[in-house]
Amino acid sequence: MRIPKLLLAVIIIALAYFVLKIPSGHHLIPASVIRIYMFFITVGVLLVMTFSEESAQALSAPIVSLLGDPAKKVLRTIVFIIVPLFFGYLTYNNVKPSFEAPVELRTVHPAPPSSVKMFGKSFNLLTLESPVRKDTANFAANVKAGGELYFKNCFYCHGDKLDGRGHYAHGFNPLPANFQDVGTITQLQESYVFWRAATGGPGLPKEATPWLSAMPIWQNFVTEDELWKIILFLYDYTGHVPRVMKEEGKKEAMAPAVKPGDVGFMAVAYAEEKGAAAGPKQIYEKRCAWCHGWEGAGDGPAAEFLNPRPRDFTSGVYKYKTSPFDQPVPSDEDVLRTIKEGLPGTSMPGWTDLLSESDMKGLVTYLKTFSGIEKEKVATQVDTGKQVSSSDESIKKGKDLFIDRCSECHGEAGRGDAIKALKTDWGDRVWPRNLTKSWTLRRGSDPKEIFTRISTGISGTPMPSFADPENKKKLSEEERWHVVNYVKSVQKEAKEGEAVVKGIKIEGEVPTDPADPKWDAAEATTFPLVPNIIAKERFFIPTIDDITLKAFYNDKEMAFLIEWDDRTKSIPGDSKAAELAEGEMNEDAVAVQLPVTVPEGLEKPYFGHGDGSHPVNIWRWGSGTTAQPEKISLLDAKGIGQVAPREGESNLTGKGVYDKGRWRVVIKRSLQTGDKEKDLQFEPGRFVPISFATWDGSNGEKGSKHELTTWYWVFLKPPTGSNVFVTPVIVMLLVFGGELLLAKQVRKK
């Protein structure tokens, strides 16, 4: 059977559309880019199909027959009505105001300058070569040194597996480069990688949107020699070879063969080269030791940058196990599951993509040898008994039990706002889980998992077992199920990929009280927060992980409702608050950053405090101390650290309320301030870059030590004007007229 040409064309175009719609990796292709691709695909298909007179006729035959054949009158009438309606609908969708963020395209590998100033001297990138790579005698030692530096400086963005998925990567756009991918360092000469790392995001030329890249300026933090060693490690760990410009034969010389005498992780490559399997010790040293330490004591080079810290395997204590509370040893399956799936909400990744099942099983036994428990066997598993299905009644019972048994640690609303400071057996500060954030539960949020955790507790931490008869607050099996049902009822699901704070126009005054019920009608948007790990002074152990925004405006003013979970209300001067603080206490705070002028095209200020030619406004709200009430300030900034408060009239007001582990702050400003030189002027219908920062004062956060977001957008959605309806009607009339004309022509022929 032959498929009619017209149908074939339609099928090809539809297929192309579906392929483009499939999400690739983290990101969807923006609709406007899809429209551009679809235009070219359609034109391409038509060009090919109308190449010869014959094929053009075959393609148009069904259309001609529809337009001209008297027998097809009914069908013709239907088509003549449907087609204009379809175009009217498309037009309506196009002209109605929407919150879809503008597209930003960037050149990933821009041409480098031929000579650059780095580390205080001039370098010629065309002739620059790695001095460290030439030192073949110390190759293994240099790779190891480079690895240690990588795990102190780069892994929280570029990933412990060098795959661009470090535990803070999700907070940035563009995402950190994936060095495992063949599209990054394999394409590049080492001198290029050196230039990119030394000068970071701000060192990029304009076509690569330097104002968006979170890549730090590494010449500020490491030495020249150290940077070359890190680069050596990048290639060695991924097994890639840098690109060389000159002779082809030089490629081999770039990666000296591993010697039989090499120890630890270097022996993995040796074993692989010889076709033999590497042992668990070698795999451990290549993949795990950077965090868990060369001797398993949880003290690898990355450890001090992590909270929670990597497990100390010499203690033999494992947190996530299914063996009952009175059996300290985890089953092999428990440990295997951690290695396979990782622990969500921590930096511990899952390893199924890089390690085989037998490698991982070998690691389970190997880890247990650090504490000599490899021979101990676990007999029973926690019995989940008879699951009580969720109902209003069960949730209510669960809530009462939760308030009684759990709230002193997990807070009344489950946000982990404990009333006392808690420590692990290893002496580290530990916060009870914020149970409302389902995605941070280490074993996932399946009811059976939560039941198991409540039953066995979490070893090494204050989280007790509620099946243990010695626990004065013990819960029966049924009671534990009620608590689980309550926990499930307060949980939220993760939201990802949002980019626009949605400003909605309202009649009357904008609400200035965080508790105003009007806010319920606004649309919430949530962005991830990551600590400032980019500019001095860097900060690694945040306690706040996301921020939620709502916005309203009227003819004169706009108001943002800013909400975030913070386990402590930090009040300098208050002795009760001081008991919960880690070291020095400061006030809690939030800041909104906006460009002073919205630049034409793509250009924006650098996302960290702007730059000389692109200043930013910062609105900072501070929660105050026992001596001073809450306060909102207006700051002008034109570069990292170049921030100055502006005194006098500011048009800004701020009001905050802390309740059960959550801050809700309303910041209001007039849309226009009249000072275009100094202040951003808000206008409905325009996308404005916006970013946020938060400080948890009880966590020692102050100054540059804070959480931040990258640039997102705020959009004040204009009220739906009459053109939104008029334009589609005009389009429909035009299309209908076109149809009539065509039909007339066909009949003439």
What is the footprint of ligand HEC within residues 262-301 (CB under 6 A)?
287-288, 290-292
Give the nearer residue to ligand HEC in terms of CB position, either 157 or 589.
157
Give the nearer residue to ligand HEC in terms of CB position, either 411 or 622.
411
Cβ proximity of 293 and 300 under 8 Å: yes
Write the CA distances from 686 to 593, 594, 598, 619, integer angstroms: 17, 13, 9, 20
- The label of the residue with tokens 């076509």 reads 207
| Number of residues engaging ligand HEC in binding (CB under 6 A) | 72
Residues whose CB falls within 8 Å of the CB of residue 267, separated by 6 or more in sequence, listed in order? 258, 278, 282
CA distance 566 to 338: 28
Which of residues 180, 322, 323, 338 is near ligand HEC by CB under 6 A? 338
CA distance 211 to 710: 10
- Per rule CB under 6 A, is residue 343 in the interface with ligand HEC? yes
Give the nearer residue to ligand HEC in terms of CB position, either 461 or 623.
461
Give the nearer residue to ligand HEC in terms of CB position, either 150 or 560.
150
Give the nearer residue to ligand HEC in terms of CB position, either 218 or 560.
218
CA distance 103 to 8: 32
Which of residues 228, 265, 320, 712 is near ligand HEC by CB under 6 A? 320
Stretch that binds ligand HEC, among 209-217, 587-595, 599-607, 612-620 (CB under 6 A): 209-217
Cβ proximity of 712 and 595 under 8 Å: no
Stretch that binds ligand HEC, among 37-45, 156-164, 514-522, 615-623 (CB under 6 A): 156-164
Give the nearer residue to ligand HEC in terms of CB position, either 159 or 514.
159
Residue type, 362: G
Which of residues 191, 322, 327, 347 is near ligand HEC by CB under 6 A? 347
Give the nearer residue to ligand HEC in terms of CB position, either 146 or 697.
146
Alpha carbon of residue 151 to chain centroid = 20
Compute the least distance from the CB of residue 548 to ligand HEC, in Å. 22
Residue 402, Cβ neighbours under 10 Å: how many?
23
Cis-peptide into 174, omega within 30 deg: yes
Stretch that binds ligand HEC, among 28-36, 253-261, 343-351, 595-603 (CB under 6 A): 343-351
- Per rule CB under 6 A, is residue 580 in the interface with ligand HEC? no
Angle at CA of residue 361, ends 357 and 366, nearest 5°: 145
Angle at CA of residue 341, ends 337 and 343, nearest 5°: 100
Which of residues 133, 144, 319, 397 is near ligand HEC by CB under 6 A? 319
Residues 82-111 that bind ligand HEC (CB under 6 A): 109
Which of residues 268, 278, 533, 634 is near ligand HEC by CB under 6 A? 533
Write the CA distances from 105 to 196, 208, 405, integer angstroms: 19, 8, 52
Residue type, 233: F
- Per rule CB under 6 A, is residue 229 in the interface with ligand HEC? no
> Which tokens is 651 given?
């048009």
Stretch that binds ligand HEC, among 306-314, 494-502, 689-697, 733-741 (CB under 6 A): 306-314
Which of residues 49, 214, 258, 592 is near ligand HEC by CB under 6 A? 214
- Per rule CB under 6 A, is residue 607 in the interface with ligand HEC? no
Which of residues 133, 144, 158, 717 is near ligand HEC by CB under 6 A? 158
CA distance 430 to 437: 17
Cβ proximity of 159 and 166 under 8 Å: yes
Residues 687-746 that bind ligand HEC (CB under 6 A): none
CA distance 458 to 463: 5
- Per rule CB under 6 A, is residue 201 in the interface with ligand HEC? yes
Own/partner contacts of 355-363, CB < 8 Å, gap of 24 or more, are 355/283, 355/287, 359/280, 359/283, 360/336, 361/332, 361/336, 362/279, 362/280, 362/283, 363/280, 363/283, 363/284, 363/288, 363/339
Compute the least distance from the CB of residue 225 to ligand HEC, in Å. 13
> Which tokens is 686 given?
């325009």
Residues whose CB falls within 8 Å of the CB of residue 35, separated by 6 or more in sequence, listed in order? none
Give the nearer residue to ligand HEC in terms of CB position, either 433 or 669.
433
> Which tokens is 594 given?
């906006």
Give the nearer residue to ligand HEC in terms of CB position, either 109 or 274.
109
Give the nearer residue to ligand HEC in terms of CB position, either 9 or 430.
430
Residues 409-468 that bind ligand HEC (CB under 6 A): 409-410, 422, 430, 432-433, 435, 441-443, 450, 453-454, 458, 461-464, 466
- Per rule CB under 6 A, is residue 597 in the interface with ligand HEC? no
Cβ proximity of 335 and 365 under 8 Å: no
CA distance 654 to 551: 14
Compute the least distance from the CB of residue 220 to ligand HEC, in Å. 11
Give the nearer residue to ligand HEC in terms of CB position, either 557 or 566.
566
- Per rule CB under 6 A, is residue 218 in the interface with ligand HEC? yes
Give the nearer residue to ligand HEC in terms of CB position, either 130 or 213.
213
- Per rule CB under 6 A, is residue 146 in the interface with ligand HEC? no
Give the nearer residue to ligand HEC in terms of CB position, either 299 or 546.
299
> Which tokens is 43 given?
């034109």
- Per rule CB under 6 A, is residue 339 in the interface with ligand HEC? yes
CA distance 564 to 549: 9
CA distance 596 to 611: 11
